[in-house]
Amino acid sequence: MSQAWWRGAAIYQVYLRSFADGNGDGAGDLTGLRGRLPYLKDLGVDAIWLNPWYPSPMADGGYDVADYRGIEPVFGTLGEAEKFIAEAHGLGIKVIIDVVPNHSSTASAWFQEALADPGARERFWFRDEPNDWQSIFGGPAWTQVADGQWYLHLFAPEQPDFNWDSAEVRADFEDVLRFWFERGVDGFRVDSAALLVKDETRWEDLDPVHDVYRRWREIADEYGDRILIGELWLPDQERFARYLRPDELHTAFNFDFLSCPWEPAELRRVIDLTLATHTPIGAPPTWVLANHDVTRPVTRYGRADTSFAHGGALHGSPSDPVLGVRRARAAALLAMALPGCVYVYQGEELGLPEVEDLPDAARQDPMYARSGGANRGRDGCRVPLPWSGAEPPYGFGGAPTWLPQPEGWAALTAEAQSADPGSMLTLYRRALSLRRELLGDGTMTWLDLGPGVLAFTRDSGLTSVTNLGAEPVRLPPGDPVLTSGPLTDGHLPADTTAWLYDRQT
C-alpha cells in the first residue's frame, strides 16, 4: 500500500490576499482562487495551505483573528469557502488552513468582553504589572488598558495572547478544529505552535503545550487522514522532535533548511540533521525554501550572504539576479528530490524576486512600523501575483493592488512563462510531475562526487546531483530526465541540479 498522502505531498502555500482578485477590489479572494484552481492542478500540487482567511482587522495580515468560525468579508463568505473546498477536492487537491492558537485579535468578542469587564479576563494574560518581555515584532510585549491593567501580546498589540490555562480556551479551539474538519478541511497549519503555554518566567516550549497537541491529534484522528503541521522555530532538535511524536503533530516546517546558506557542507549538515531528527520518530521531513515571512529565494541566493536571517538584516544588500535565479532553480530540484514533503510558496514557481523598493507609505507589515522602520518587514514577499499582461495589475484583478506591483514583471507572468520551455514555471511543472511519477517513498543514499556536490539516490532509482562548486562535474550513470540549467559537454555546471533516472535500480 502506498504511504499516507501527507508523508510525501507537494504543498502549495496560498497567501490569499495576494493570489488572485475575483471582485476587482485590488485584494485577492476566494473567487480569484477558485478561478485559478486549474492552474494549481496543472502545476501538480497535492495540497494547498492557505494563510488565515478568517474575519480580521488585518493588523498582521490576518494573523489577528477576530472569529475563527467565519471568513473575512474581503475574501468571501463561508459558503464560498465550502465551495472552494469541494472544488479543490474535485481536482484531487487537499486543503489545509491556518489556525492561530497563540493569540487573538483585539476585535474579537472575547477581548472586547475582557476590556469591558475586568472579571472576564481569564482567557487572556492580564496582569497588574508588566514584566520585561519584548514583543517579537519589537517594543514591549505588554499594553495597558484604561483601568490600569496590562495584557500580554508576544506579537502586535492588536494580537492579545490567549491564556492556555483556561479550560474555556482549550475547549473552544477543539471546537474550532471540529468546525472546519466537518467542513472538509484536510488539516491545519498551527501558527506559533511552541508559544501557547507560558508561565511567569518563560513563553516558549513549555512542556504542557504537548497536552494540547495530544488532544488535537485525537480529534484529527477521529476524522481520519487529517493532519496537523507545526510552525516551530526551535533550534534544539531534540525539543523540536518532541512535537512530532506519533500522538502529536504530523509534521513541521523545516526552517533550518529554509535558512541555510547556499553552501554544500552546510546544506549536507542540515539535510543529515533533518533525517536524523525525523527518522527515529517516523515523522516525514519537510523541505521549505520560502514562505510569507522570509526573503524570496531568487533574491537571497543572488547575494554574497545567502542565508536567511530574521529582522531584515540583509534587506537591500546587492543581489545578482542571474545567479539568484540559477541557484533558486537548482535549489528547487534539490528540495523536491529529498524524502518527505515539499512546500512551494506562491510566486516561487514564477521565480518572483523580493520587492525591496516598495514605497514606505505602502508597507503594511507591523514589523516595519513597530521597529521604527529599521526592519523593512515582510511585504516584499507578499506582493500580488502577476498572471498575465504587460503592466500592473498583470491580470491579478482590480487596480490599485493592495501592495503595489513593480514595473518589469511582464516576463514573469504565469501566462508568459507557460509558453516558455526555459521558464521557472515550466521547471516547477515538470519537476512536480516527475516527482510524483519517479520519486516514490523510501529513503536516500548519499553518493560521493566530491566536496562541492550534493548527490544522492532515492530507492526508486532517481538520482539528484547538485553542483555547488565552481567546476563542472561529471554526472553518474542514468538518463538525465530533468536539469535546472543546460549541461556542458555532458557535465553539470556550477549552481545546477540534474535528476537522473536509472530504470534498472
Residues at the site binding ligand NOJ, with contacts judged by CB under 6 A: 60, 63, 100, 155, 191-192, 231, 292-293
* Residue 136 or 481 with smaller CB distance to ligand NOJ: 136
* In the complex, least distance from residue 270 CB atom to ligand NOJ, rounded to whole angstroms: 21
Phi, psi of 179 (to 5 degrees): -55, -45
Rama region for 139: left / alpha / beta (φ>0; ψ in -120 to 50; rest): left
| Interatomic CA distance for residues 282 and 299, integer angstroms | 35
* Residue 60 or 349 with smaller CB distance to ligand NOJ: 60
Helix axes 321-337, 424-434, angle to 10 degrees: 10
Pick the catalytic residue: 29, 72, 186, 191?
191
**Alpha-carbon radius of gyration of the chain:** 23
| Interatomic CA distance for residues 229 and 251, integer angstroms | 5
* In the complex, least distance from residue 292 CB atom to ligand NOJ, rounded to whole angstroms: 6
Pick the catalytic residue: 113, 168, 221, 222?
222
| Stated length of the chain | 505
* In the complex, least distance from residue 222 CB atom to ligand NOJ, rounded to whole angstroms: 27
Q: Tell me, what DSSP letter sits at residue 224?
A: S
| Interatomic CA distance for residues 454 and 254, integer angstroms | 18
**Opening angle at CA 218, ends 212 and 221, nearest 5:** 135
CA 348 → CA 96, 154, 495, distances in Å?
19, 29, 18
| Interatomic CA distance for residues 268 and 283, integer angstroms | 20
Q: Tell me, what DSSP letter sits at residue 414?
A: H
* Residue 7 or 376 with smaller CB distance to ligand NOJ: 376
DSSP string covering 98-135, please? EE--SB--TTSHHHHHHHH-GGG-TTB-EESS--S-B-
* In the complex, least distance from residue 426 CB atom to ligand NOJ, rounded to whole angstroms: 29
The C-alpha torsion from 440 through 443 and 448 to 449, rounded to 10°, is: 20
Which residue in 379, 429, 430 sits closest to 405, CA to CA?
Answer: 379
Number of residue whose CB is nearest ligand NOJ: 63
* Residue 123 or 382 with smaller CB distance to ligand NOJ: 382
Asked if residue 405 lies in contact with residue 393, where contact means CB atoms within 8 angstroms, the answer is yes
* In the complex, least distance from residue 62 CB atom to ligand NOJ, rounded to whole angstroms: 9
Q: Is 191 a catalytic residue?
A: yes
> Would you call 500 helix, strand, or coil by DSSP?
strand
Asked if residue 33 lies in contact with residue 81, where contact means CB atoms within 8 angstroms, the answer is no
* Residue 242 or 378 with smaller CB distance to ligand NOJ: 378
* Residue 100 or 350 with smaller CB distance to ligand NOJ: 100
**Cell numbers 482567511 correspond to what residue?**
53
Q: Is 305 a catalytic residue?
A: no
* In the complex, least distance from residue 74 CB atom to ligand NOJ, rounded to whole angstroms: 17
CB atoms within 10 A of CB 479: 10
* In the complex, least distance from residue 366 CB atom to ligand NOJ, rounded to whole angstroms: 8
**Cell numbers 480556551 correspond to what residue?**
169
* Residue 292 or 327 with smaller CB distance to ligand NOJ: 292
CA 299 → CA 306, 317, 324, 331, distances in Å?
9, 9, 6, 13
Which residue in 70, 73, 68, 65 sits closest to 31, CA to CA?
Answer: 73
**Cell numbers 508523508 correspond to what residue?**
7
* Residue 72 or 293 with smaller CB distance to ligand NOJ: 293
* Residue 63 or 368 with smaller CB distance to ligand NOJ: 63
The catalytic residues are 191, 222
